[in-house]
Amino acid sequence: MKSLVAYWKAISYLVRHKWHIFWLCWKTGIPWLGLLHDWSKFLPSEFFTYAQQFHNGGDLNFNTAQLLHHHRNKHHWQWWILVTDKGEEIVLPMPDKYRREMLCDWKAALCIQHPKMTIRDWYAVHEQDMCLHPQTRKWLNRELGFRNTEYVVCSTTALGRAGLIVADDGKVYISR
Ligand SMILES: [Zn+2]
């Protein structure tokens, strides 16, 4: 029963999110991406685990489901990080349509989860957690009205990293 409630909440959230996303993407000239946005969340390999995680208090398989989701959807900045055979990370610039979709995604999520928070405030808090190519970061800063910083400091706390720099060629360095 608890699971059924979780699944229902997940579907209702997804439908509302997709509705917001569609209109935001439409306005920014990428209606098709708005229509297809997060399609993979309806696949069993993502749906059940996401539903348990967010609406039923945690699921051990969430990391796998999240990895699948990031690898299936180019609007996630994580999609654009190449881990080479040597274990190096190269961050690639996001094509314009996907960075637009990413921004719409953040705005749409805020509409439902934190309707009083502005996208600028949200980005100011979370931008340090993202590994973005300098081109992508510059574009985001411009779109959101922030000044560019010289280099990109990324502290992906989830991975236990701090003070990393993404250079113009996408290579990730430790800042000193
Ligand atoms: Zn997504």
Instruction: Tell whether 11 and 94 lie within a shared domain.
Output: no
Per the model's pLDDT, the better-predicted residue between 67 and 173 turns out to be: 67
Give the domain-ending residue among 54, 73, 92. Answer: 73
Domain count for the chain: 2
Distance 72 CA to ligand 1 centre (A): 9
In angstroms, the CA 11 to CA 24 distance is 20
What would the pLDDT profile of 82-135 be if each residue is shown by its tens digit?
999 998 889 999 999 999 999 999 999 998 889 999 999 999 888 888 889 999
- Give residue 175 CA to ligand 1 midpoint distance, Å: 30
Give the rounded percent of residues in the chain with a pLDDT score beyond 90: 53
C-alpha 128 to ligand 1 mean position (Å): 19
Shared domain for 100 and 59, answered yes or no, is no
Q: Could you tell me the pLDDT band of residue 176, with boundaries at 50, 70 and 90?
A: low
The total of other beta-carbon atoms located within 10 Å of residue 5's CB is 12
Report whether 105 contacts 97 (CB < 8 A).
Answer: no
User: 52 and 23, same structural domain?
Assistant: yes
Higher pLDDT, 163 or 117: 117
- Residues 59, 140: one domain? no
Range of the domain at 7: 1-73
> How many Cβ atoms are within 10 Å of 16's Cβ, its own excluded?
13
pLDDT surpassing 50 at residue 157: no
What are the pLDDT digits (tens) for 37-54? 999 999 999 998 888 887
Decide: 46 and 40 in contact? Cβ < 8 Å.
yes
On whether both 120 and 138 belong to a single domain, the answer is yes
